[in-house]
């Protein structure tokens, strides 16, 4: 089941879902925990993704102001707006989708720049990945379950924590 935050919390509360893996982008509030246990798994750094032939792709350091005239592909508009406001830039959003594979395909096709979590761009071809100068934003990833979870939920949550620690 693929849900976007804050969806899914109700399913865990009701018992329809044992474990929820969810995230929070900068500029967004976490939903109330509603008595559930929320375990931080990963701080997934947001990385700048550019088409391989983009002029800024050859620069060792790229600032948001360098991309002020570019089109953007956004997975989370409030996050991009927060970052842009700090630099006095108004991003021109050409596409919005939460599908990271679609975002990378649009960037690869030369249709814009994007900010995506580092875990998404590992090993991606046809794009250039850079840190955005002056930005240290992370997408936070959490596991959410009921208090006193069943043994199988604890086992999966523990496995997720171990795998996430290797990604950090």
Which residue is listed with tokens 């208090």?
147
Same domain as 120, residue 54: yes
Would residue 2 count as lying in a domain?
no
Res. 168: pLDDT tops 80: no
Same domain as 39, residue 50: no
Same domain as 129, residue 52: yes
Same domain as 106, residue 127: yes
Which pTM does this prediction carry? 0.87
Same domain as 155, residue 120: no
For residue 9, the surrounding DSSP H or E stretch is: helix 9-14
CATH number of the domain residue 131 falls in: 3.40.190.10
Question: What is the C-alpha separation between 141 and 19, in angstroms, rounded?
Answer: 13
Same domain as 114, residue 61: yes
Question: What is the C-alpha separation between 85 and 69, in angstroms, rounded?
Answer: 15
Question: What is the C-alpha separation between 131 and 118, in angstroms, rounded?
Answer: 10
pLDDT of residue 1: 73
Same domain as 83, residue 72: yes
Same domain as 124, residue 65: yes
Res. 71: pLDDT tops 80: yes
Span 88-142, pLDDT tens digits? 889 999 999 999 999 999 999 999 999 999 999 877 788 999 988 887 889 999 9
Same domain as 78, residue 30: no
Span 6-27, pLDDT tens digits? 889 999 999 999 999 999 999 8
* pLDDT mean across residues, the chain: 91
Same domain as 115, residue 80: yes
Res. 86: pLDDT tops 90: no
Number of domains in the chain: 2
Residue span of the structural domain in which 117 resides: 44-135
Would residue 129 count as lying in a domain?
yes
pLDDT of residue 123: 74
Same domain as 126, residue 48: yes
């Amino acid at each position: 089941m693929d849900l976007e935050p804050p969806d899914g919390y109700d399913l865990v509360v009701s018992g329809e879902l044992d474990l929820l893996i969810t995230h929070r982008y900068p500029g967004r509030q976490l939903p109330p925990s509603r008595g559930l246990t929320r375990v931080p798994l990963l701080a997934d750094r947001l990385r700048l993704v550019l088409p391989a032939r983009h002029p800024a792709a050859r620069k060792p350091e790229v600032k948001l102001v360098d991309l002020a005239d570019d089109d953007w592909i956004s997975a989370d508009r409030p996050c991009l707006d927060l970052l842009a406001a700090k630099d006095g830039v108004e991003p021109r959003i050409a596409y919005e989708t939460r599908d990271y594979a679609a975002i990378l395909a649009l960037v690869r096709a030369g249709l814009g720049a994007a900010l995506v979590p580092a875990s998404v761009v590992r090993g991606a071809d046809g794009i250039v990945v850079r840190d955005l100068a002056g930005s240290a934003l992370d997408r936070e990833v959490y596991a959410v379950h009921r208090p006193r979870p069943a043994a199988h939920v604890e086992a999966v949550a523990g496995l997720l924590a171990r795998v996430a620690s290797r990604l950090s």
